[in-house]
Amino acid sequence: MEYVLYKCFFDSKSVIEKIDKKISDKLNDKLKIIESEIILEYLKKQKGRFGIKNLGNEIRYNKNIQNQFNSSFNNEVLLKITEHYRSFLYFFISKLSAYKKEDVYFLIISREFGIKSKIVDKSFPDIQEIKEQINFLSENFKIKNFARNIYFIEIIYFKDYIFEEMDKNYSKIVKIK
């Protein structure tokens, strides 16, 4: 999985900035599991079909994927944000409240990857929408907890795989040779 890492800086004018930082091995292992499980679900669903329209339920009910989220490890927690973009601030604030001491990593999807892959519907928040909402929050409210770090991991693409749009409604995963 290729991704871009962003960090929140609530004491800066630009609240979310792209950073060059290596994530922990444990977190990297979780991302590898998520990637491989999504690929398996995708291949299973598209078998014998023209393509797929979405993969939401398959991801939602895959225990191997879900087990990678919401559990604290080495003072870190990985959370996924794929719900409707209008729910973002509620989700963001409630998770920060639930994990007060851990460094929080929110897994998000780039707009291009989300549209091409069809692993979620089009209403997911991308980094631009997240930046706008967090900037609004930061401009209007004082942040109190600076004891932890807040990151966004934006999935750009899967290694060794591409998504082909079959038409506007269908997509297919293809292994690169």
Select from 139, 158, 152 the least CA-distant residue to 108. 152
173 confidence band (pLDDT: 50, 70, 90):
very high
Question: Residue 120 — pLDDT band, cuts 50, 70, 90?
Answer: confident
Mean pLDDT, residues 27-31 taken together = 97
Compute φ and ψ for 164, nearest 5 degrees: -105, 130
* Domain count within the chain: 1
With 90 as the cut, is the pLDDT of residue 113 above it? Answer: yes
Query: What is the spatial distance between Cα 7 and Cα 129, in angstroms, rounded to a whole number?
Result: 15
- Phi/psi for 146 (5° steps) reads -105, 10
Residue 144 has pLDDT above 80, yes or no: no
Residue 163: name the closest of 104, 119, 98 by CA: 119
Strands in 2-8's sheet, in edge-to-edge order, are 16-19, 2-8, 150-157, 103-109, 76-80
Select from 94, 95, 129, 96 the least CA-distant residue to 110.
129
The arithmetic mean of pLDDT across residues 52-66, rounded, is 91
Predicted TM-score of the model (pTM): 0.92
| Domain carrying residue 114 | 2-175
Question: For residue 143, is pLDDT > 80?
Answer: no
Confidence (pLDDT) at 112: 93
Per-residue pLDDT, 162: 94
